[in-house]
Amino acid sequence: MDLIPQNIDGTIVLDVGNVCTSHETDCRNCSDIGGCVHNWLMVTDLRYVIIDFQDEKEICHTFITELLQLRKRLAIPFLFTGVTARPKEILYSYGIGPESNVIFELAEEAIKFLVRDYPTAISHDFSQVKFNEAITSLRSRQLQRTFEPEEITEDDI
C-alpha cells in the first residue's frame, strides 16, 4: 500500500495507491503502516490526517486497523473519504459510524469539515511534504521485506 500526499485546496490529502486487498487479519505488507504514518506526521508536523480511499472496493483489513490504532494514539482529526461498502464495514466494526463525523464521500467535504471545526489544524508549512510521491518510509520497509541479496561471484570482485 502506498499513501501519496496531494495538495487539495491548501490541505494535504493522502491518496491510497497500490492497493492491498488482503482479507487476512495480520497482513505482513500492511502491519507497520501505523508506525510509518506516525513517523511521517512527526517529520511533516501535520496536525490532521485525511485519507482518500478513492472508492476502492477492497482495502486490506490490517491497513485500516493500523490506521485506526494510530488514530487512537494521536490527538488530531483523522478523516476518511471515498470509503466504499466493504471498508465502511471494517470502520463500523471499530465503532467508527456515520455519527462519528470522520467518514465523507469526497475529500472536499472532509476539508470543509476540517476548516469549520479545526481551523488551527490546517495552518501548515508544506516544505517537508513531497507531493505526488509515496511516503518513502512505507515503500522502503516493504522493499526490505522482499529484498534478497544477489550472490557475488569472482567476476564481480
What is the mean pLDDT of the segment spanning 50-77? 91
Contacting residues for 130 by C-beta, under 8 A, at least 6 apart: 5, 136
Rounded distance, CA 149 to CA 151, Å?
6
Residue 124 domain flag: yes
CATH of the domain at 90: 3.30.750.24
DSSP 92-153: HHTT--GGGS-EESSHHHHHHHHHHH-GGGG---GGG--TTS--HHHHHHHHHHH--PPPP-
pLDDT of residue 136: 57
Q: Give residue 78's domain range.
A: 2-129
Rounded distance, CA 28 to CA 145, Å?
9
User: Which three cell numbers mark 60?
Assistant: 486490506
pLDDT(151) > 80: no
pLDDT grade, residue 122 (50/70/90)? Answer: confident
Residue 134 domain flag: no
Residue 32 domain flag: yes
How many domains are contained in the chain? Answer: 1
pLDDT of residue 98: 80
pLDDT(61) > 70: yes
Residue 152 domain flag: no
pLDDT grade, residue 155 (50/70/90)? Answer: low
pLDDT of residue 128: 87
Residue 148 domain flag: no
Residue 143 domain flag: no
pLDDT(153) > 80: no
| Buried-state track 12-47, b at ≥16 Cβ within 10 A, e below 16 | bbbbbeebbebeeeebebbbbbbebbbebbeebebb
Residue 157 domain flag: no
